[in-house]
């Protein structure tokens, strides 16, 4: 079976590897264009493009599936297209090209968390269990019938990066199994059932911590926005990045946002109990341990995050 693979970030690479290892004829890869990365803004291929080139697979770079891209897909004539976090909408003209359609690997238990940031929104919401599904791509937002499902426990300290890494590996197996079932004529997609929730792409504002909220809600939000866009607060009007927050339920006498240095621990008050800061990046500086940051404070007892 001739497969077109569409994907862009590192979480899509295990799926590309799995399809190649399973013996599928991956005839081309569709990915987003090279991007300028780092302080020197070096043009860098997407992780999927880089892996495809290592494998000797033709790469189509396209910011969107426009008429030209659709024509290139038609020339390739895939039997099926597999898509994992490509980052663009596939129009009807392109959806209709493969005889077996497009199969999307999505990192949630649909219809929960339809959209671009399902794992992040799941952690922020406090879900205990999430997972991944393969489904038939339609014009609607993650609305197509489901081929297969897997579940994954959300661990108490999971960041979205941690959870996505695990799901990318188990999901790659699920995607390969789904394409095998389609190739053998055994696939039987089922309509989605259950409550619908949406997972729009995270913005910088999603990472801001409101210290009036309970510690558990802040802990979930910080984990959900790690590694991107990252948790942050403000101090003296400047944005400060925070990392590796830990719950300290035994400490409840700190006002929201107030900082206390307790030995090597740096504590911050919330609307309930304290959080302990693992690392912090003050404006214009590198990320450092909170203990190192605290040693440089003239009057830590006067520090209050805004």
pLDDT interval class at 276 (50, 70, 90) = very high
| pLDDT of residue 39 exceeding 80 | no
| pLDDT of residue 5 exceeding 80 | yes
Average pLDDT on 91-119 reads 98
pLDDT at position 13: 98
Higher-confidence position of 30 and 263 = 30
| pLDDT of residue 53 exceeding 80 | yes
Average pLDDT on 278-282 reads 96
Cβ proximity of 75 and 39 under 8 Å = no
pLDDT at position 137: 98
Task: Give residue-wise pLDDT tens across range 222-253.
Answer: 999 999 999 999 999 999 999 999 999 999 99
Task: Give residue-wise pLDDT tens across range 204-219.
Answer: 999 999 999 999 999 9
CA distance 268 to 248: 10
Average pLDDT on 281-288 reads 93
Structural domains in the chain, sorted by start: 2-183 (3.40.50.170), 204-302 (3.10.25.10)
Question: What pairs with residue 84 in β-bridges?
Answer: 7
Distance of CA 254 to the CA centre of its chain: 33
| pLDDT of residue 111 exceeding 90 | yes
Average pLDDT on 55-78 reads 97
Distance of CA 290 to the CA centre of its chain: 26
Classify residue 222 by burial, with Cβ atoms within 10 Å: 0-12, 13-18, 19+.
buried
Task: Give residue-wise pLDDT tens across range 132-144.
Answer: 999 999 999 999 9
Work out the percent of the chain whose per-residue pLDDT is above 70.
100
Average pLDDT on 158-168 reads 98
Give the Å distances, CA to CA, from 74 to 223, 288, 292: 42, 51, 58
CA distance 300 to 283: 17
Task: Give residue-wise pLDDT tens across range 118-137.
Answer: 999 999 999 999 999 999 99
pLDDT at position 289: 96
| pLDDT of residue 40 exceeding 80 | no
Work out the percent of the chain whose per-residue pLDDT is above 90.
92
CA distance 51 to 29: 10
């Amino acid at each position: 079976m001739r497969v077109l693979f569409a994907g862009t970030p590192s979480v899509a690479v295990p799926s590309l590897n799995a399809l190649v290892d399973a013996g599928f004829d991956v005839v081309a890869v569709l990915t987003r264009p090279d991007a300028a990365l780092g302080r020197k803004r070096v043009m860098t291929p997407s992780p999927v493009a880089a892996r495809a080139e290592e494998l000797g697979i033709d790469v189509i770079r396209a910011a969107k599936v426009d008429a030209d891209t659709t024509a290139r897909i038609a020339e390739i004539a895939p039997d099926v297209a597999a898509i994992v976090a490509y980052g663009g909408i596939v129009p009807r003209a392109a959806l209709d090209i493969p005889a077996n359609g497009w199969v999307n690997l999505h990192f949630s238990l649909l219809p929960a968390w339809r959209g671009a940031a399902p794992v992040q929104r799941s952690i922020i919401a406090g879900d205990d269990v999430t997972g991944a599904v393969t489904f038939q791509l339609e014009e609607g937002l993650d609305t197509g019938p489901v081929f297969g499902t897997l579940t994954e426990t959300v661990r108490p300290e999971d960041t979205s990066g941690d959870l996505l890494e695990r799901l990318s590996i188990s999901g790659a197996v699920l995607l390969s199994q789904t394409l095998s079932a389609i190739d053998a004529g055994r696939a039987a997609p089922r309509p989605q059932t259950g409550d619908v929730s949406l997972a729009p792409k995270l913005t910088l504002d999603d990472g801001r911590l409101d210290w009036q909220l309970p510690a558990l809600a802040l802990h979930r939000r910080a984990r959900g926005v790690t590694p991107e866009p990252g948790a942050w607060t403000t101090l003296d009007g400047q944005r400060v990045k925070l990392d590796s927050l830990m719950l300290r339920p035994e400490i409840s006498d700190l006002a929201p946002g107030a900082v206390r240095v307790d030995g090597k621990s740096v504590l911050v008050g919330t609307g309930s109990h304290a959080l302990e800061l693992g690392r912090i990046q003050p404006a214009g500086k590198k990320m450092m341990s909170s203990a190192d940051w605290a040693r440089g404070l003239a009057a830590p007892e006067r520090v209050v995050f805004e």
